[in-house]
Amino acid sequence: MSVPSRLALVPFISVDNMMRFVLHIGVERMLVELAQEIEADFRRWEHFDKTPRVASHSEVGVIELMPASDGELYGFKYVNGHPANMHAGLQTVTAFGVLADVATGYPVLVSEMTFLTALRTAATSAMAARALAPTGAHTMAMIGNGAQSEFQALAFRAICGIEHVRLYDIDPAATRKCAANLAGSGLRIVPCATAEAAMEGAQIVTTCTADKQYATILTDNMVGAGVHINAIGGDCPGKTELHRDILLRSSIFVEYAPQTRIEGEIQQLAKDHPVTELWEVFAGRAPGRTIAQQITLFDGVGFAIEDFSALRYVHQRIKPTGFYQDLDMIADPDDPRDLYGMLMRAKALAG
């Protein structure tokens, strides 16, 4: 048997190596650079082959595939969402992804994406807020202090200049965890006893809760004029965080309307309710925030192009770091037509 060729060996990034890579780059620097990559791809949105994610729903959660291609590279992410996992000591969301060369169909990267999804979600949130939030915003309310919360806070600090973060979670232990993790980050962290208290003085409100149900995390009377809402928890059918009346008062921005109308806050609205896809803002085809009193809402459910951008970012930078393993996962016979012969040679060597 011959030694596998370069194309047959696929770089694989384990959880351990992803953590090493993130720490090597630096969390905030990586958030900034991911936001730059995602924004660049949003600006060339029309070059992508796009589809809403393919979802398999059950009573306990959802398993999804999220594909996208720009004609040169193809990427997909496998991701789940199981809110009850937390009670069993398991992650609510886990993920892995693949990036492939369109010309050959060969994979060029296989990676964990639980950490990477948290980073790209936070980078996307802050990227959107930079275009939509009120000028000079310095305080954010973080409603929901689970696995995503620290990444969100650091992204808004690095990308939007947020200085103060007011925390609230229905579980006080989650708030204590988040506050402890963000100690020394340069942010002023204020734990709060209620969602209303967390929103006092906040120009940006991020909601990121996990329960798979129609919920009202924010009621209409909690949202005043001029704020930006970053609603990222409502990411599947039957799951929301905002009262419908807030949506009716807001200018709504989404990633990919055919997906968001199924999964986002706007599933509460008529199918023809006007929304703006975020790429249109970055491409100069639509305005973002236009007046100070405007309520802007980013109804972020996560879209495959963001994962594509993140996988490409890692693929471009991982080799010099050495934080990967080569996987022998592509059959590499001497004669591409003789796959069986490769098996027989393996048998002879084993015998």
Q: Supply the residues annotated as catalytic.
A: 235
Number of Cβ within 10 Å of residue 200's Cβ equals 12
State how far the alpha carbon of 253 is from the alpha carbons of 93, 140, 228, 308, in Å. Answer: 24, 19, 11, 21
Phi, psi of 288, rounded to the nearest 5 degrees: -95, -120
Q: Are 289 and 132 in contact (CB under 8 A)?
A: yes
Tokens of 146: 């689970």
Name the residue with tokens 């291609």: 69
In residues, how long is the chain?
351
Q: What's the CA gap between 159 and 147, in Å, rounded?
A: 20
Tokens of 293: 């009193």
- DSSP assignment of 336-350 equals TT-HHHHHHHHHHHH
Contacts of 347 (CB under 8 A, 6+ apart): none
- DSSP assignment of 23-34 equals HHH-HHHHHHHH
Tokens of 314: 């890692």
